[in-house]
Structure 1
Amino acid sequence: MSRLRFLAPLVAHRTRRPAIALFLVTTLGVGSAPIAASAEPAGSASVLGPSVARAGTTLVESTEIPGCADQVIEADGSAAEARELCSATLVTSQGPVETASAIEIRDEAASLGWSVAETERAAAAAASGAIRSRTWVQTYWGASNWERHEGRTYWDGSRAWVASYRGKTGRHVCHTEGSWAIGWVITPVRCTKPKAAAAADAYYRFDAQILFKGSPITLGVAMHYQMSRTGAVKQWKIGG
């Protein structure tokens, strides 16, 4: 059954070819549970955990959106229509592990007005290879809704962060280029920039609403990308 049969009105948000999105999910495959980064011992265990892959990796999770099927059935939808509308896939693509340089640290410290002592402590950590990061893009695909957020997260063996710490500032941007929807109205709610802690959870919370057979279906979705202090990654979705 075509997804477009019951989607109305047809509203597009920042459209980029749906065919590309379908190809990505088909090619990467779909798992039944969150998948950790592939095991590949690399670097010092105090900085880079033993299960953290240096190269780029892809994590895939497939799920049913909680609360969605009940709304579809209440609107006189069939079980097949509920499965079609309420299935979702979470795909996270990660870049390779990168190491910050002492020069980068000193440049950023100067722009922030750090003291000499603070600057040298951070530069020494960078020179030892302790400050690492990776870029990532996380995509939620549910029915005809393709929503993305992306960022860069740092870690040093003691803390992980996105907000400025030790002379390096990460990045987290939500509802990014490449997000698109047909029939859905998307409302971004929250886009976090976690401070330095044992784990940094960059999550994107958004509401999605669609008109199905004259009745509104409303979902609240939160996508999580969490980096530990040793670079281990978890992804998950809450709500729907």
Structure 2
Amino acid sequence: MILASSTLMVATSASAAAPVQEGQLKVVSSQKVTSSECVAKVQARGGSGREVAACTSTVTLAVGAETHPSSKDVASARSALSPREFEALSAAAVAGTVRAAPFQQGKNNGTDQEEQYGRVYYDGSRVWIATYGRYTGSHICKVDWAVGYDVTNTGCGDYGSSSQRSIYQKWKFSLGVKGSPVSWEETSTIFVNASGRFWQ
């Protein structure tokens, strides 16, 4: 049985940004990750080595060039910020310290591919996801494709302090069909700090 699944989840109220185009991003990290929960579930049902191999994914993080929002872009953020936050943001924009960068994290294991992408802002002391006029800050999680698995998004968001954010995508995988007794969850996280450093 071949099953194709597609899910799109937007984590913020910001308007959805289009996926970042190839060539605009530079890969900053790529790693192999094996889900121990997946391995245990597949082995418990007598799965083959090929099925267990599908429990290992390549997770790739790419980041685009930073940009500086204009004062007009900053002014458009007034309604989303407290007066104190807006004053601090305006001062940082005038000083040229506010920067923005697009990011994209893809997860692929040969049977399915998921990704999260968006844009973050930072000023040296704070980091956040927001919208400034033509600079659309957002966080989107989606399934690109899946064969033989049902993939459902169960989480797409960010958390942390004002100086470091953790941006995550969380997925539930079911072998064959939704509701299958062989299912597990996986989470991929991007970390970004107030100086614009990204890692996973």
TM-score normalised by the shorter chain: which range applies?
0.7 to 0.9
Task: String of CA shifts for 1:53-76, please: whole Å, max 9, x gaps.
Answer: xx9421211122212222222222
Unmatched 5+ stretches in structure 2: 8-23
Aligned to 1:226: 191
Q: Does residue 135 in structure 1 map to residue 135 in structure 2?
A: no
Q: Does residue 68 in structure 1 map to residue 38 in structure 2?
A: yes
Q: Give SS of 1:175's match.
A: strand
Aligned length: 179
Change (3 A) 1:164 1:197: farther
Aligned to 1:23: none
Taking CA–CA contacts closer than 8 Å with sequence separation of 6 or more, which of the two structures ends up with the larger relative contact order?
2
The answer as to whether partners of 2:25 and 2:62 remain within 8 angstroms in 1 is yes
Structure with the larger helix share: 1
Structure with the larger strand share: 2
Change (3 A) 1:113 1:223: closer
Matched residues in 1 for 2:183 and 2:81: separation? 47
Change (3 A) 1:137 1:129: same
Q: Give SS of 1:151's match.
A: strand
Task: String of CA shifts for 1:95-132, please: whole Å, max 9, x gaps.
Answer: 111112222111332x54865x7655422311212111
Unmatched 5+ stretches in structure 1: 1-8, 16-54, 236-240
Aligned to 2:53: 84
Matched residues in 2 for 1:164 and 1:95: separation? 17
Q: Percent identity?
A: 25
- Could you tell me which amino acid in structure 1 is paired with residue 42 of structure 2? V
- Cα root mean square deviation, aligned: 2.9
- CA drift of 1:230 comes to 1.1
Aligned to 1:29: none
The answer as to whether partners of 2:34 and 2:57 remain within 8 angstroms in 1 is yes
Correspondence 1:5-154 to 2 at 5 A:
9-14=1-6, 56-58=25-27, 59-78=29-48, 80-109=49-78, 111-112=79-80, 119-154=86-121
Matched residues in 2 for 1:195 and 1:103: separation? 28
Matched residues in 1 for 2:105 and 2:42: separation? 27
Change (3 A) 1:112 1:67: closer
- CA drift of 1:181 comes to 0.4
